Structure 1
Amino acid sequence: MRWKTVLQLGYKELWALWRDPMLLILIGYTFTLGLYGAATSAPESLHKAPMAWIDEDQSQLSMRMASALYPPHFMNPVPLGPQAADAGLDSGRYTFALTIPAGFERDIKAGRQPELQLKVDATRMNQAFVGSGYVQAILSQEVAAYLDRDAPAATPSVELATRVRFNQSLTTSWFTAVMELINNVTMLTLVLTGAALIREREHGTIEHLLVMPVTPLEIMLAKVWAMGLVVLVASGAALVGVIQGFLAVPINGSLPLFLAGTALHLFACTALGIVMATVARSMPQFGLLLVLILLPLQMLSGGQTPRENMPQLVQQVMMLAPTTHYVALAQAILFRGAGFDVVWPQFAALLALGGGAFAYAAARFRRTIASMS
C-alpha cells in the first residue's frame, strides 16, 4: 500500500466535497444553526415564562408567594388588574395569570382550603404544560413554609443534603448541546462517507479508479481519512465556537482528549458508512438505510435516555455500537473532567469496534469492486 496514493486520493475526495454545495450547506448548518437551535428550542425545563399577578389579598403571604416566582423559571410577576391580565393573555403577552382572592391568608390560618385561580395560555404548549406544575409546587411549598414558621422545629432523624455537581443550575441546554453535537458527528460521518462512495458510482468515476494502479484498500482509506478529517475539524470548531462561545456551556475536561476519542469514533463510523454504501445502490436507498441504522444508534446509546433504564438485553446489544462508548467518554470528559485513566476502556472499545468494522468494510468493498470490474 502506498501512502502517497492514499493522500492524493484523499485530496480528490476533499475537492469533490468542496464542489458539492448541498453537502457543504448541510455541514455548516448542522454544526452551527442546527446545533444552536436544538440546544435552545423547546427546553424540558421552564425558562423565563411571563406571568401576570392579580393580588386581591395584599397580605404578607401573597407577597411572599409572588417573591417565590423568580428567574430563571419565571420572569418577575407583573401586578395587574383582572381586565388587564385577561387582555395580556389574549394578546400573548403573558403565559400565566395567577389570581390571589381576598382573604386568602385569613382562610389559610383558619384551616380552610381557599382556591387560587391560574389562567394559562395553552397555545404555548411546552410552557403551559410544564409551568402549571412548577407554579403549583412552588406555591404549595411557600404556603407550607409560612404555616410552619411559628411551629416548634422538630429535629429530623435523617437529613438529606442534596448537592448538584457539574451542572449546578440544572440547565438543560448544557446537556442537550453536547448530546446534539455527538449525534451530529455520527450522522454526518455516515452521510459523508456513504455519499462519497455512492457519488463515485453514480457519476461513473469509480470505473476510472478501477483502471488506475490503485487498490480497493487505498480507495477506502482515502475516503476514511478525508471525510473523517472534515467532521473532526467541524466538530472541534462547533465545540469551541458554538457550545463554549454562544451557548456558554462550561467544558470541564481536556478538548484534545475528547477530539482523540472523536477520531476513534469517526474511524468506526466511516467504516460503517462504507458498508452501508456497498449495500445501497443509490442515494435514496442509502437515505432509507441511514434512518434504520442511525435512529437506534442515537436513541439507545445513552445520549437521550440513561442506559441503566433500558432492558438488560438492549444494554448488552448496544455495547457493540460505537456510539455507546463515544457517548460515555464524551460525557465523562466534557462534563466530569475525566482523564485518560478513567475513559481508557471506552477508547479500547472504540479501537476494537473500529478495527472490526474496518476489516469487514474492506472485505465487502473489495468484493463490490471486483464485481464491477
Structure 2
Amino acid sequence: MRKLKNILRLGRKELWSLWRDPMMLLLILYVFTVSVYTAATALPETLHNAAIAIVDEDQSPLSARIASAFYPPEFQHPRMITVGEMDAGMDRGDFTFALNIPPDFQRDVLAGRNPEIQLNIDATRMSQAFTGNGYIQQMAMGEISEFVQRHRAAQALPVELALRARFNPTLEKSWFGGIAEIINTVAMLSIILTGAALIREREHGTIEHLLVMPVTPGEIMISKIWSMSLVVLLATGLSLNFVIRGLLQVPIEGSIPLFLVGVVLCLFAMTSLGIYMATLARTMPQFGLLLMLTLMPMNMLSGGATPRESMPEVVQNLMLIAPTTHFVEIGQSILFRGAGLDAVWKPFLALAVIGTVLFILSFRRFRKTIGQMA
C-alpha cells in the first residue's frame, strides 16, 4: 500500500507539472483537434472542385454521357466551350482540364476504330493535375465501356463486374485521414510527454529531490507512465467523439471502449520507450533528435500511411517489433471494420509482449541512470 500511495502521489505531481506547462498543454490541444481536422480535410492527393472544360465536337449520346460523368465534389460542373476557346482559357487559368471529344467519336467507337480523346492539363497546378489525370481517364473509359456493352448486347461479356466499396462506400479520404492522424498522435505524444517529464526534472534539478525521498526508481518510472498515459487516453477519447464523430461526421463501426483498451496497451509500450530514450538524451534538443530518428520511420512503415503489403518483406518482418505496427492494425480493424476481440486478440497480445519487454529494458536503464546520479 505504501508503494501504491507513492506511485499515486508522484503521478499527481506529474499531472500538476504538466498543468503548469502551457506550451505542452497547447501542443496536446493542437494535435488532437486542429491537426486531426487538417489531416482529414487537407490531404494533398485529394481532388476537390477541379475546374474542367469540355469541347464536344461530336454532340452524340456518348459524348453527352462522358460530359455528365464529371460532377462535384471532385469536379466543378463542366464548362462547355468551343475549340477556339480552349487554348485561351488554359492560358488564363480558367480551368485545369480541357477534354476535347472529336467529331464522329461515337460512330468510330461503335465501328471499332479506336478514336482518341485529347485531354489538356494545366500542369502548374501539380496536385490536381497529377491526381485528376488518372480520375478523368478512368471515368471516361468507364462510360465508354458501359456504352459499348449496352449497344453490343451480342458481344457483351458473360460476366458483369459489380464494384462495391466496404467500410467507406463513398471513398471519403477524410474518414481515413482523421483516424490515421489520431493513431500517429497517440504514438507521438506518449513518447514526448514521458520523455519530456524526465528530462525536465533533470534540467530543473528536481530529480535530486526524488533521490533523497523514500521512493524507488520503479515507483518514479511507473508514476510517469500512468500519469502521462492518462492524459493521452482522455485526449484520444475526446478527440474521437468530438472531432472525428462530431465535427468530421466519420462513422465509427466498432467499439470505442475496445479501441481504448488498445490505446492503453500502446501507451504502455510507447511511454516505456519514451523513458528509455530520455535516459539516453541529456537535453531536450538531443531528445528531439532521437525522437525524429525513431518516430518518423515507425509512423511511415507501420501501415498507417502505406499498406504493409506494398513494402519489402524484410521491412514487414522488421516492423513487427514496433508497437505502432500492431496499434495501426488494431485501430483500422476496430474503427473501420467493426472487428471484435476475436479478430484483434493477436495484435493485442503482441502489444502487451512488446510493452513488457520495453518496460523491462527501460526500467533497467532508468535504475542504472538513477544509481549513477546518486
Q: Structure 2 length normalisation: TM-score?
A: 0.91
CA positional deviation for 1:299: 2.0
Name the CA distance, whole Å, in 2 between partners of 1:159 and 1:109. 20
Name the CA distance, whole Å, in 2 between partners of 1:162 and 1:331. 22
Aligned to 2:271: 270
Name the CA distance, whole Å, in 1 between partners of 2:148 and 2:158. 22
Give the alignment of 1:303-322 within 5 angstroms. 303-322=304-323
Q: Which amino acid aligns with 1:338?
A: A
Residues 87 and 225 (structure 1), Cα distance of their counterparts in 2 relative to 1, 3 Å cut: farther
Aligned to 1:234: 235
| Residue correspondences, number | 373
Gaps of 5+ in 1: none
Q: Which amino acid aligns with 2:172?
A: T
CA positional deviation for 1:365: 0.8
Residues 154 and 84 (structure 1), Cα distance of their counterparts in 2 relative to 1, 3 Å cut: closer
- The question of whether the paired residues in 2 share the 8 Å contact of 1:197 and 1:277 is answered with yes
Aligned to 1:153, the other structure's residue is in SS state helix
Which moved further from structure 2: 308-317 or 333-342? 308-317
Q: Does 1:51 align with 2:61?
A: no
Residues 303 and 55 (structure 1), Cα distance of their counterparts in 2 relative to 1, 3 Å cut: same
Name the CA distance, whole Å, in 1 between partners of 2:198 and 2:64. 67
Name the CA distance, whole Å, in 1 between partners of 2:56 and 2:307. 43
- The question of whether the paired residues in 2 share the 8 Å contact of 1:44 and 1:172 is answered with no
Residues 208 and 91 (structure 1), Cα distance of their counterparts in 2 relative to 1, 3 Å cut: farther
Which moved further from structure 2: 147-156 or 165-174? 147-156
Aligned to 2:177: 176
Name the CA distance, whole Å, in 2 between partners of 1:195 and 1:44. 34
Deviations 1:325-346 (A, max 9, x none): 1111111111111111221222
Gaps of 5+ in 2: none
Name the CA distance, whole Å, in 2 between partners of 1:300 and 1:63. 45
Name the CA distance, whole Å, in 1 between partners of 2:341 and 2:153. 53
Aligned to 2:151, the other structure's residue is in SS state coil
Q: Which amino acid aligns with 2:278?
A: A
Aligned to 1:125: 126
Residues 237 and 90 (structure 1), Cα distance of their counterparts in 2 relative to 1, 3 Å cut: farther
Aligned to 2:68, the other structure's residue is in SS state helix
Which moved further from structure 2: 344-353 or 96-105? 96-105
CA positional deviation for 1:266: 0.3
Aligned to 1:218: 219
Deviations 1:273-294 (A, max 9, x none): 0000000111111111111111
**Percent of aligned pairs with the same amino acid:** 58
Residues 336 and 112 (structure 1), Cα distance of their counterparts in 2 relative to 1, 3 Å cut: closer
Aligned to 1:80: 81
Name the CA distance, whole Å, in 2 between partners of 1:46 and 1:296. 28
Residues 344 and 108 (structure 1), Cα distance of their counterparts in 2 relative to 1, 3 Å cut: closer
Q: Which amino acid aligns with 2:230?
A: L
Which moved further from structure 2: 352-361 or 42-51? 42-51
Q: Structure 1 length normalisation: TM-score?
A: 0.92
Aligned to 1:349, the other structure's residue is in SS state helix
Residues 20 and 89 (structure 1), Cα distance of their counterparts in 2 relative to 1, 3 Å cut: farther
Aligned to 2:194, the other structure's residue is in SS state helix
Cα RMSD over matched residues?
2.3
Which moved further from structure 2: 146-155 or 48-57? 146-155
Deviations 1:71-125 (A, max 9, x none): 3432221223456665654554532222334444455456555543333222321
- The question of whether the paired residues in 2 share the 8 Å contact of 1:42 and 1:126 is answered with no
Deviations 1:137-186 (A, max 9, x none): 22233334334433233464555444321112222222222111111110
Aligned to 2:69: 68
Aligned to 1:365: 366
Name the CA distance, whole Å, in 2 between partners of 1:52 and 1:77. 5
Aligned to 1:247: 248
Give the alignment of 1:1-373 within 5 angstroms. 2-81=3-82, 89-90=90-91, 92-108=93-109, 112=113, 114-154=115-155, 156=157, 159-373=160-374
Q: Which amino acid aligns with 1:135?
A: I
Aligned to 1:49, the other structure's residue is in SS state coil
